């Protein structure tokens, strides 16, 4: 078996090319912040980024001007408000978009995962359809004559995801909220995974039902504890809601946002620096919070 | 006991009225915010059998602290089951989830909901978050209840963008042809309940403590007096409010 452990720098440099279509994992839970920030640090340009419900990580990637196109069902800062960088870029027309819905994005990924070019669905046949998905076609069922929209497959070049544990071979164990993370990863040609903890293969074999992605699909594994902050990791730390709330104020102002990105992305050259920025008080608080290591039940 | 509903915040009043509407249902597709509060309130008071289902894949959840995302720790913590989003959207499309609650930035006379843009789609005044799962729920859920704070700016004749399709005579005809359920049938504001008709929303009833003028103030639709008496709610709902009062 091949040891697939890597550094975040090498994993991104060796697997991601300018112009790639990247699926980014995490549905409120397990958002691969630190791993995806490496795209910004390496300034990999003209990227397409996709997922169903996207939060402030998408905002940061768009603000960093490395994104050419966004394929999404939702882009915002959940409950807190809008994705201000997305709104600015949309109005300036500095990004292209494909605007779907959460279900249709997930079905698009599922089609790619299943190796078919489309999946029929009842959605997206009424209501206003964005002009950027006007290529969506309708099909008639050969058995019932019912009409369906033909939701086209979405096959990303690469998926960046975060999970709780993996062994060095790339068997990924994940629990808690998945959303479309596993679906999106398995739909993609390549998968890079950051984890809280690398564990032994014998530990993996103790609970193989927790393995959601098998080693042969994974390109690289990186141990990045706290790499999903300010989102959360069940069994490790809770979500920093305050960070999301403050990000709303920060991201309204482009100057403030540049200093935020300098601080949290460009200057955070390794995961220890990132942890330092979070700070020991906050770390303790989030470990004790809901779903944290000290409050799992 | 006479309840003075003016003592409660607008969002609490929406949750109070909506909770009464959930009696008899077994499963509810819920979004974050007022919909989640309303479903929790029903579960804690008048409909303990109700399973709350979130698009993140959490089923049988009961968030008792504030949740910002459908994937938040408070949604995951204490859920009966966590599956993936594909499974819950599949259940939704198969008609296996009874009722859904939605809110939006704008609503029109036929219950079309807008969470995409204010203004023109390509040159918007405000670019919002987009559908998320809202379009999907509005297309597929057998019973759809819309929850909106009584803010006249959010009530329009025609939405700027129909993210989530409505109902009424014309839309229902198309829904029938596509074998889709009938769409939004109830609208709840912080002062009243409306029901969908072929011609659009009808004022059904007004929350006790409010007048017809208050319940319709600033709404652009020509509304007749309510067809039913004042809304009174089960005191159990009011007692349970304290548990979701975060």
Tell if the pTM clears 0.80, that is, is over it: yes
Interface mutation target, options A75, A101, A285, chain B, most CBs of B under 10 Å: A101
Q: What is the pLDDT of residue B244?
A: 85
The distance from CA A170 to its chain's CA centroid, rounded to whole angstroms, is 18
Instruction: For residues B215-235, give the mean pLDDT.
Output: 96
Does the beta carbon of B178 lie under 8 angstroms from any beta carbon of chain A?
Answer: yes
Q: Give A79's contacts in chain B (Cβ within 8 Å).
A: 32-33, 67-69
- Report the length, in residues, of chain A: 297
Which pLDDT score, from 0 to 100, does residue A249 have? 98
Catalytic residues of B: 55
Q: Which residues of B7-28 are buried (b: 16+ CB within 10 A; e: fewer)?
A: ebeeebbbbbbbbbbbeebebb
The CATH architecture one would assign to domain B5-244 is: 3-Layer(aba) Sandwich (3.40)
Residue among A256, A185, A212, A207 at smallest CA distance from A35:
A185
Model confidence band, residue B246 (pLDDT cutoffs 50, 70, 90): low
Is B71's pLDDT higher than 90?
A: yes
Which residues make Cβ contacts (< 8 Å) with residue B48, sequence separation at least 6?
none
To the nearest whole Å, the CA of A234 is away from the closest chain B CA by: 8
Q: Which of A122, A231, A252 to mutate to test the interface with B (most CBs of B within 10 A)?
A: A122
Residue A141 CB contacts under 8 Å (≥ 6 apart), including other chains:
A120, A147, A148
pLDDT at B2: 82
Alpha-carbon distance of B180 to B172, in angstroms, equals: 9
Above 0.90 for ipTM, yes or no? yes
User: Is the CB of residue B132 less than 8 Å away from at least one CB of chain A?
Assistant: yes
CA distance A273 to chain B (A): 25
Do residues A158 and A191 lie in contact, with contact meaning Cβ atoms separated by under 8 Å? yes
Please list the alpha-helical segments (H only) found in chain B. 10-21, 34-44, 73-76, 85-93, 134-140, 169-177, 212-216, 235-240
If you write DSSP's letter for every residue of A110-125 in order, what string do you get?
HHHHHT-SEEEESSSS
Each domain of chain B, given as residue ranges in start order, spans 5-244
Share the mean pLDDT of chain A: 97
- Can you tell me the mean pLDDT for B77-95? 97
Q: What stretch(es) of chain A map to CATH 3.40.1080.10? A: 8-107+154-233
**Dist. CA A277–CA A282, nearest whole Å:** 10
What average pLDDT does range A190-206 have in this prediction?
98
Tokens of B218: 């600033």
Segment A121-180, tens digit of pLDDT: 999 999 999 999 999 999 999 999 999 999 999 999 999 999 999 999 999 999 999 999
pLDDT tens digits for range B15-57? 999 999 999 999 999 988 999 999 999 999 999 999 999 999 9
Residues in chain B with CB shorter than 8 Å from the CB of A55 are 69
Sequence-distant (6+) residues with CB within 8 A of B77 are: A290, A291, B63
Kindly state whether B105 is in contact with chain A, defined as any CB-CB distance less than 8 angstroms.
Answer: no
Outline where DSSP puts E strands in chain B: 27-30, 51-54, 58-59, 81-82, 99-102, 106-108, 113-114, 117-119, 124-127, 143-147, 155-156, 184-188, 192-197, 200-206
Among partner residues A103, A106, A128, which is closest to B161 by beta-carbon distance? A128
pLDDT of amino acid A53: 97
Mean pLDDT along residues A243-256: 98
- For every residue of A131-197, DSSP letters joined together read GGGTT-EEEE-TTT--EEEEEE----SEEEEEEEEE-TT--EE--S--BTHHHHHHHSSEEEEEEEE
Report how far residue B105's alpha carbon sits from residue B100's, in angstroms, rounded to the nearest whole number: 17
Sequence-distant (≥ 6) Cβ neighbours of residue A81 within 8 angstroms: A248
What is the reported pLDDT for A294?
77
Torsion of CA B206, B34, A108, A49, to 10 degrees: 130
Q: Is the pLDDT of residue B1 over 80?
A: no
Instruction: Give the pLDDT score at A296.
Output: 55
pLDDT over 90 percentage in chain A = 99
Average confidence score pLDDT of chain B: 96
Average pLDDT over residues B51-74: 95
Domain A8-107+154-233 class, CATH top level: alpha beta
- The pLDDT of residue B135 is 98
Determine contact, residues B18/B40, Cβ cutoff 8 Å.
no
Percent of chain B clearing pLDDT 70 (strictly above): 99
Q: Does the pLDDT of residue A191 top 70, yes or no?
A: yes
**A108-140 burial, b if ≥16 CB within 10 A, otherwise e?**
bbbbbbeeeebbebbbbbbbbbbeebeebeeee
């Amino acid at each position: 078996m091949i040891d697939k452990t890597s550094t975040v720098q090498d994993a991104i440099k060796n697997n991601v090319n300018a112009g790639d279509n990247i699926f980014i994992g995490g549905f409120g839970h397990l958002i691969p912040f630190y791993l995806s920030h490496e795209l910004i640090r390496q300034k990999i340009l003209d990227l397409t980024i996709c997922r169903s419900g996207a939060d402030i990580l998408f905002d940061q990637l768009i603000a960093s001007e490395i994104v050419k196109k966004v394929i999404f069902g939702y882009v915002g800062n959940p409950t807190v408000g809008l994705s201000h960088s997305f709104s600015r870029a949309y109005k300036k027309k500095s990004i292209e978009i494909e605007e779907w819905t959460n279900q249709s994005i997930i079905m698009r990924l599922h089609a790619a995962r299943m190796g078919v070019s489309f999946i029929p669905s009842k959605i997206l046949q009424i209501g206003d359809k964005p002009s950027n998905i006007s290529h969506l076609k309708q099909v008639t069922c050969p058995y019932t004559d019912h009409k369906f929209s033909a939701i086209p497959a979405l096959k990303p070049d690469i998926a960046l995801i975060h999970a709780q544990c993996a062994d060095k071979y790339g068997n990924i164990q994940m629990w808690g909220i998945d959303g479309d993370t596993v679906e999106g990863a398995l739909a993609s040609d390549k998968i890079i995974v950051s984890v809280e903890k690398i564990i032994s293969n014998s530990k993996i074999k103790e609970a193989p039902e927790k393995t959601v992605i098998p080693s042969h699909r994974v390109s690289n594994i990186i141990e990045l504890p706290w790499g999903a902050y300010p989102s959360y990791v069940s069994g490790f730390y809770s979500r920093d809601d305050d960070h999301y709330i403050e990000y709303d104020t920060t991201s309204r102002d482009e100057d403030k946002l540049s200093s935020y990105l300098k601080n949290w992305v460009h200057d955070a050259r390794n995961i220890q620096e990132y942890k330092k920025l979070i700070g020991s008080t906050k770390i303790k608080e989030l470990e004790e919070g809901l779903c944290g290591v000290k409050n799992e039940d | 006991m006479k309840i003075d509903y003016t003592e409660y915040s607008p969002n609490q009043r929406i949750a109070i009225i909506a909770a009464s509407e959930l009696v008899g249902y077994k499963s509810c597709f819920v979004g974050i915010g007022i919909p989640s509060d309303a479903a929790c309130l029903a579960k804690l008071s008048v409909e303990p059998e109700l399973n709350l289902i979130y698009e993140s894949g959490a089923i049988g959840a009961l968030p008792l602290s504030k949740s910002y995302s459908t994937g938040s720790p408070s949604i995951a913590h204490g859920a009966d089951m966590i599956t993936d989003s594909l499974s819950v959207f599949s259940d939704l499309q198969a008609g296996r989830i009874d009722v859904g609650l939605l809110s939006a930035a704008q609503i029109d006379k036929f219950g079309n909901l807008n969470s995409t843009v204010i203004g023109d789609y390509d040159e918007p005044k405000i670019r919002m978050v987009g559908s998320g799962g809202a379009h999907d729920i509005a297309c597929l859920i057998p019973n759809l209840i819309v929850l909106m704070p009584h803010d006249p700016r959010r009530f329009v004749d025609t939405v700027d963008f129909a993210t989530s399709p409505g109902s009424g005579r014309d839309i229902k005809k198309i829904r029938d042809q596509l074998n889709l359920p009938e769409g939004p049938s109830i609208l709840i504001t912080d002062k009243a309940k409306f029901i969908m008709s072929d011609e659009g929303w009808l004022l059904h009833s007004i929350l006790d403590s409010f007048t017809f003028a208050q319940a319709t103030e600033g709404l652009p639709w020509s509304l007749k007096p309510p067809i039913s008496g004042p809304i009174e709610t089960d005191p159990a709902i009011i007692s349970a409010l304290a548990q979701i009062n975060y």
